[in-house]
Amino acid sequence: MIHNETIDLLLAHSSVRQYQDKPVSQEVVDTILNCAQRAPTSSYLQSYTIIQVEDKEKRAALMEFSGGQKWLVNAPLVLLFCGDLHRDDQLLHPADQNVLHNAELFTVAVSDASLVAQRAFIAAQALGLGGVIVGGVRNETAKMARLFDLPKLVFPLYVLCLGYPESVPVQRPRFETRFIHAVDRYPALPDPDALAAYDNEVREYFLKHTSDPNEFGWIARGQHAISSKPRYAVGEYLKEAGFLTKTEPSV
């Protein structure tokens, strides 16, 4: 594998949830935001919005919505990333209003915001910060919209918590590359032996490196995550906010 400063930074990633009591300067914030804005954007629409959360009551609400993730209160810098078609609606005045409510532009807004969030995260890490992305705020999507006065056609996706690391956790194991990559075809699923080995590797990681008392591997953790966080209300919110209310006409 090739190594240089950038590659090593990417390979060293782990989510950081404990931070030093040290503020993030405005110069650092501006640098992060400017780097984020250089992310690719579909059709040059820039269909995203970033909200910096400073208000203590709003941060406390974020922690409540996410099920008690205290880094939403403790992190020196908290950024909310939203998929945003409201700005496109107001500035571009599309002749066919239905286009703003279809699945394609919703996908554009989500992918734009995701690319921007990842660029912001990498820029922050390059400046010595660590962080974690919190999707748990989608437990209460409608309340999130009210908390931040989000107009129609704006979807709160996740929060990026950032700060100077107090400690950096050991990286969690990932799938073997062969299970997520293939050439000219969909990759094969892990065979039973490979899946069992990975499941055990994940189990050993949590037993060794965390205080988690549950002796769960990747399978049990994944099953729990899927079943315990259905977030059915997200779909309802999306329609109330004007997303996904139109389907493309049949040809």
- First and final C-alpha spacing in the chain: 48
Dist CA 56 CA 193 (whole Å) = 49
- Residue 211, CA distances (Å) to 92, 102, 207, 214 in order: 51, 44, 7, 9
Domains, the chain, ordered by start: 5-169+231-240 (3.40.109.10), 170-216 (no CATH)
- Reported as a pLDDT band with limits 50, 70 and 90, residue 247 is low
Q: What average pLDDT does this structure show over 199-221?
A: 90
- Reported as a pLDDT band with limits 50, 70 and 90, residue 230 is confident
Dist CA 188 CA 207 (whole Å) = 29
pLDDT tens sequence across 79-116: 999 999 999 999 999 988 889 999 999 999 999 999 99
Are residues 145 and 237 in contact, defined by beta-carbon separation less than 8 angstroms?
yes
- Residue 241, CA distances (Å) to 62, 117, 195, 245, 251 in order: 20, 22, 40, 9, 27
> Dihedral sign, CA of 215, 201, 119, 102?
negative
Question: Is residue 249 scored above 90 in pLDDT?
Answer: no
